[in-house]
Structure 1
Amino acid sequence: MAEVGTFTYRMLGFKNKPVNHYIRPFYLEVAKSVKIKHFCHGSKRIHEIFINWLKEGLITNVGRPFFTFGFFSGYSHNTNDCVGLLDEDNVDFLKYMNSLGLLKNTFVLLMSDHGARYGNLRQTEQGKLEERMPYFGIFVPPEFRKEHPNKYIAFLENTKKLVTPFDIYETFMEINEEKNEYKPTDRTSYSLFSNIPMERTCQSAGIEAHWCACLAWKNTSVSENHVINTARESVNMFNEMIGEYSIMCHKLDLKHITRAIKLESNENVLKFKESKDIDGRIADMSAKTKPLQAFYQITMETTPGNVTSSVDLQSGQVFISKEDISRINKYYDAPKCIVKRKPELRPYCVCKENI
Structure 2
Amino acid sequence: DKVYDYVNEDFIWSYFSKAGYRTGAIFDDYHVTAFHYQKKGWDKPPVDYYHRVVVLAKNNDKLMKATSSNCFGDMPEITFNHDFWIQMASTFNNSKTRPYFGFSFSVHLTHDSHNMASAGDHLYHRFLQELKDKNIINNTVFIFFSDHGQRFGKTREMYNGKIESSTPYMFLVFPPWFHRKYPQIIKVLKINQERLTTNRDIYETLRDLVNFQATTKLGDINKRGISLFQEIPRERMCEHAEIPVEYCVCNQLTNSNVSSSISLVLALTVQDKLRKIIYPVRLKCAQLTFRSLKKVMEVRSDRSNVNQTTTDSTLYMISIATTPGDAIYEATVKFFNSTKKAEVVSEIIRINMYRGQAECIPSPVLRPFCYCK
Normalising by structure 2, what TM-score? 0.56
Partner of 1:67: 101
7-16 or 67-76, larger mean C-alpha shift: 7-16
- Answering whether residue 352 of structure 2 is matched by residue 284 of structure 1, we say no
Does the 8 A contact of 2:244 with 2:346 survive in 1? Answer: no
Counterpart among 182, 197, 202 of residue 168 in structure 1: 202
- Answering whether residue 318 of structure 2 is matched by residue 271 of structure 1, we say yes
Partner of 2:237: 201
Partner of 1:83: 117
Matches of 2:119 and 2:92, distance apart in 1:
28
Equivalent position amino acid for 1:84 in 2: S
Matches of 1:285 and 1:6, distance apart in 2:
18
**1:6 Cα shift?**
3.0
Partner of 2:79: 48
SS in 2 for 1:198: coil
Matches of 2:298 and 2:173, distance apart in 1:
31
**1:39 Cα shift?**
1.8
Structure 1 segment 181-330 matched on structure 2, within 5 A: 188-214=224-250, 266=299, 270-271=317-318, 274=329, 283-284=347-348
Normalising by structure 1, what TM-score? 0.59
Structure 1: segments with no counterpart, 5+ residues: 180-185, 219-263, 288-355
Partner of 2:136: 102
The superposition leaves residues 37-57 of structure 1 with CA deviations (integer Å, 9 ceiling, x where unpaired) of 542222222222111122111
Equivalent position amino acid for 1:42 in 2: G
Aligned residues: percent identity?
25
Q: Structure 1's 105 and 286: CA in aligned 2 closer, same or farther, altered over 3 A?
A: closer
Equivalent position amino acid for 2:192 in 1: N
Equivalent position amino acid for 1:271 in 2: I
Matches of 1:174 and 1:265, distance apart in 2:
40
Does the 8 A contact of 1:215 with 1:265 survive in 2? Answer: no
SS in 2 for 1:68: strand
Does the 8 A contact of 2:69 with 2:108 survive in 1? Answer: no
The superposition leaves residues 307-328 of structure 1 with CA deviations (integer Å, 9 ceiling, x where unpaired) of xxxxxxxxxxxxxxxxxxxxxx
Matches of 1:18 and 1:204, distance apart in 2:
31
Does the 8 A contact of 1:174 with 1:191 survive in 2? Answer: yes
Matches of 1:270 and 1:124, distance apart in 2:
12
Does the 8 A contact of 1:106 with 1:141 survive in 2? Answer: yes
Partner of 2:157: 123
Matches of 1:165 and 1:43, distance apart in 2:
36
Q: Structure 1's 149 and 108: CA in aligned 2 closer, same or farther, altered over 3 A?
A: same
Larger Rg computed on CA atoms: 1
Partner of 2:43: 15
Structure 2: segments with no counterpart, 5+ residues: 1-28, 214-221, 255-296, 301-314, 320-327, 332-344, 352-373
Does the 8 A contact of 2:205 with 2:228 survive in 1? Answer: yes
SS in 2 for 1:167: helix
Q: Structure 1's 176 and 147: CA in aligned 2 closer, same or farther, altered over 3 A?
A: farther
Matches of 1:16 and 1:129, distance apart in 2:
38
**1:285 Cα shift?**
7.8
Matches of 1:58 and 1:144, distance apart in 2:
19
**1:143 Cα shift?**
3.3
**1:9 Cα shift?**
2.7
Equivalent position amino acid for 1:151 in 2: I
Partner of 1:24: 52
Equivalent position amino acid for 1:44 in 2: M
